[in-house]
Amino acid sequence: MSEVGVDEYNKLRTVIQTARKLLLLDDEVTLFDEINRIVCEELGFSASVIFIREGDIFRTVSRFSNHPELLSDEIANHTMPVEVVDEIRHNATQIGNLFWMDGRSDIIQNSLGAFIVPTPNFDPSKSGWHPLSVLFAPLFDRDGEIIGFINPDDPKDGTLPSDENSLLLELFANYCSIAIELLRARTNAASRIRILEAQRAQISRLFETTAASRRQEQLTEVLNDFARLMAEAADFQRIVINLKEHNTTRLQLRASFGLTREEQDELAIKATDLRQFEPLTQPEMAIGGVYFFDHNRFSLPDEVWDMLTVPDRAHHDGDGLWHPLDSLTIPLFDFEGEQIGIISLDEPTSGRHPTPSQIETLEFFAAQCEAAISQVVNFQRLERMAQTDDLTHLPTRNFFTLRVDHEIEVAKQSGEKVSVLFLDIDKFKSINDTYGHLAGDNYLIACARVIESFASDSTMVARYGGEEFTILLAKCDSEQAQVEAEKIRSAVESMAIEVENGQKIGSTISIGVATLDPASDSQRYHLIASTELTIALLAAADKALYSAKEAGRNRIATNLLSP
């Protein structure tokens, strides 16, 4: 074996032994830094940079040089569009799996040079290596797709690597690809274990069939669980979940993790709109279903910055390092594809840009979060449909009865009076017979709006059935109830609607008033179930209504419920 052969053989053994150690590393940052160190110290380059693909760009994640002055700050945050990398590969000279382009070539000088950051070390007039020369050693995943590349620069001897050194670099890059795949597989497995543990402990309860688990009042608790679990599984210190308010684009803070009380209060009172997040969810920011805003690459309008809570934290600019101005955003969608909210994440524990494993974990939790929210929204929609009359859009008889049950239970404790009004449109059948059922429906709707106009926070108006309406007046005695009833009677008497032929039609209304006074015999009232008292109170109001009808209609009659 010649002296040269021995040198190459020893270098090969060193590279292989060193590369094998990469397979044992359990942190991507350390792995990338070690790869660059080996490229420089064992393969004879003055500098080395690693780019990893994130969506439609390749981003610098690590750089190394024994001469730091060779690595400008521009390299630290450098990105290259996928299209540029593809064009370099297409026009480059291929050496095995390596790609080489001379910096003096026309395509670099005229078009691609703007995407290449030079690390000048040699005088190009005296060296075979130009500051804009490019050497790529691709990194592949198990499917043969390029996930990144090693970019060695400025060979120490100033020349293009020999065939032997090029082969060593290619072999080393293959080891690096294997090391990255193994590390990501181990990390993904650990993430899946955390996910499964979270599922068993917390998430399974979201899919119970009981209606109670889907109610609005429990959604905040569920979302706070998600925020905490996402933080623990994906290693983020701050998470905010905003949901869209019904029939608007306004966002409401529903859950958070890692925020101070002051920050929560500040976000809760901010008038944030879903449309304000559009600059944070541009296609070029997408990594799967997650959107990464890198402040070095993108800019935001002032109104978007105003709605964000940017923590006052010390920061360091560098390869793949998280900056307080960076953010991660995950849109939430319902089963029909309509956006229903936003998850915002900040401050990864590692202090670095999100890894593929973190993105996968966040996508999982976001999907589960969407399912939970959609279940609650669908339940509420069905509940509203069941509780709302189709014609008048007033609450239904059943929902009204439940509300009376509740108010009577409250009254039994407080001693406050509760009144109910039973209302019936006088001679409504004649409207249908004379003008048709469409006119009758329109008159019912008009009555509903008039009656509803007298409602307050302690009042509930419902359609009880047919041409009958009911009104609940909490904390209202018989005299006050009669005053309210008279206002409604007078307003309906003055109301008229126009039918198709231009003729105006109107009618009157009879009202029965009944009042429950728990203070009159509190001991006995406490022994009677609220549901029974509701039935009795409604029956008393109905009896008073019958009296008003018998007395000639268009009047009010009262009935004080006795225990």
Which residues participate in catalysis according to the annotation? 467
Alpha-carbon torsion (155, 161, 165, 169), positive or negative: positive
3-class secondary structure for 322-350?
CCCCCEEEEEEECCCCCEEEEEEEEEECC
- The burial class, CB within 10 Å (0-12 / 13-18 / 19+), for 342 is buried
- 183: how many CB neighbours lie within 10 A of its CB? 21
Four-residue CA torsion sign, 382, 386, 390, 392: negative
> Using alpha carbons only, what angle is made at residue 322 by residues 317 and 324, rounded to the nearest 5 degrees?
90
Contact partners, residue 7, CB within 8 Å, separation at least 6: none
Collapse the DSSP code of 519 into the 3-class scheme (helix H, G, I; strand E, B; otherwise coil) and give the result.
helix
Element (H, E) at 161: none
Handedness of CA 378, 383, 384, 389 (dihedral sign): positive
The residues facing 342 across adjacent strands are: 242, 331
CB 431 within 8 A of CB 459: no
3-state secondary structure 269-289: HCCEEHHHHHHHCCHHHEECC
- The dihedral region occupied by 320, where left means phi > 0, alpha psi between -120 and 50, and beta the remainder, is left
Identify whether the C-beta of residue 133 lies closer than 8 Å to the C-beta of residue 103. Answer: yes
Nearest C-alpha neighbor of 85 from the set 56, 106, 61: 56
Closest listed residue to residue 346, CA positions, set 265, 232, 260, 235: 235
